Structure 1
Amino acid sequence: MSLSQVKLTDPRSLRAYAHPLRMSLIGLLRREGPMTATQAAAELGEAVANCSFHLRQLAKYGLAERSPAGDGRERPWRATAQSTSWADDSPDPEMRAATDQLNAVILANYVRRAEEYLTRRGAEPTEWRMAAGFGDRVLHVTADELIELNDQIDALYARYDHRQTDPAARPAGARAVLAVELTFPVEAPRD
């Protein structure tokens, strides 16, 4: 099963998504399901008005929408898809700049979340401390091989996609885990 996806195709939508609170809101809606701006604000420790504004901005760019459920006064919001994608290969300078801006916000978010984990790591059960970890390696591959490697990693993740949308499929003891994939050249090309 593949997760539903929304694709951002213009610089304006990329810049709109490149906001830490908006990314947190979408992540929250994807993990927890529909919720009101008030509920989201409580979860994220933000002001309700701030969350409400940013949810409306996310809706403007097709990333969030009002859920049909609710009392009419404060209807819940939901994510329109389980993932967001964009092209990193545009020849347009404005699109490349917006993509770089978005990628920088995402990287900062990954670092923040890893640092948050490290502050609470000591309180985690032993089995989770042993299972979690950081690692890296340098590979010597062609661009085509790197694409293939990333596709293989995505295929491994896809084995667990159904658990994202079907809580009943999660085995006892399952927890949400952030898996971050970073692959990039580390050396400048030689002339």
Structure 2
Amino acid sequence: MNDKQPKPGDEPRRITDLGTLKAFGHPLRLKIYSTLRVAGPSTASQLAGQVDEAVSLVSYHLRKLAEHGLIVEADVQSEDARERWWQAAQDTLSFRHEDFKDTPEGVAAHAATVRTLIAQRDEQYKTYLDQQAAWGAEWRKAADQSDFLARLNPAELTRLNAEIHALIKTYEEQGKAAEAAGDTAGRENVAVHLASFPFRL
């Protein structure tokens, strides 16, 4: 009997409770969760090597993520049935300021989590910049870093974000379908970071 929880796949999850947000927002847990999303099912020892931390510490944080349903156990991927494998519980995870705005603790936890995510994304991009020569001319030409300025109202910004998200999702699905059909040549993980927000001078 398999008592592992199945991965919901594309079923999105929105974090709305403070306990889960605080559990998710820990810097190392964010890194572990992100690694599981990219690498797929992994053991604590594999993750420890990828995030450069002790196995015991990674195991502790995996349990905390599991307590809040952010990760679930995966089917064993090796011949050693004693190994415990983990996977992200969902492909799409979100959290919004509006769900935490009513308490100072909630506002602080939301801001801290967003800042940690931005710092980790910044680190990821800097790593690419440091290594871009090794990627070759084709990937360097395809990669992009752009900045746009638009005069919008909130409804227009909401619509713009929805359209961008839908377009990226289309490419995600096309990539998955192509790989499933055996078209794997030249494919790599691609990070698309989007930030859209109002500002005044």
TM-score when normalising by structure 1 = 0.89
1:73 maps to 82
Q: Deviations over 1:112-146 (max 9, x none)?
A: 11111111112211011111121101110001000
The corresponding residue for 1:84 is: 93
Deviation larger for 170-179 or 160-169:
160-169
Match of 1:97 in 2: 108
Q: Which residue of 2 aligns with 1:134?
A: 145
Taking the TM superposition and a 5 Å limit, the aligned residue runs for 1:1-191 are 3-69=10-76, 71-90=80-99, 91-93=101-103, 94-162=105-173, 163=175, 167-168=179-180, 171-187=184-200
Offset, 1:97 = 2.1
In the alignment, what sits opposite 2:6? none
Q: Does the Cα contact within 8 Å between 2:76 and 2:83 map onto a contact in 1?
A: no
Mind listing any 5+ residue stretches in structure 1 that lack a counterpart? none
Name the SS of the counterpart of 1:128 in structure 2: helix
Deviation at 1:156, TM superposition (A): 0.7
CA RMSD of aligned residues (A): 2.0
Native 8 Å contact 1:6 1:80 kept in 2: no
Letter in 1 for 2:15: L
Contact kept? 2:10, 2:92, Cα under 8 Å: yes
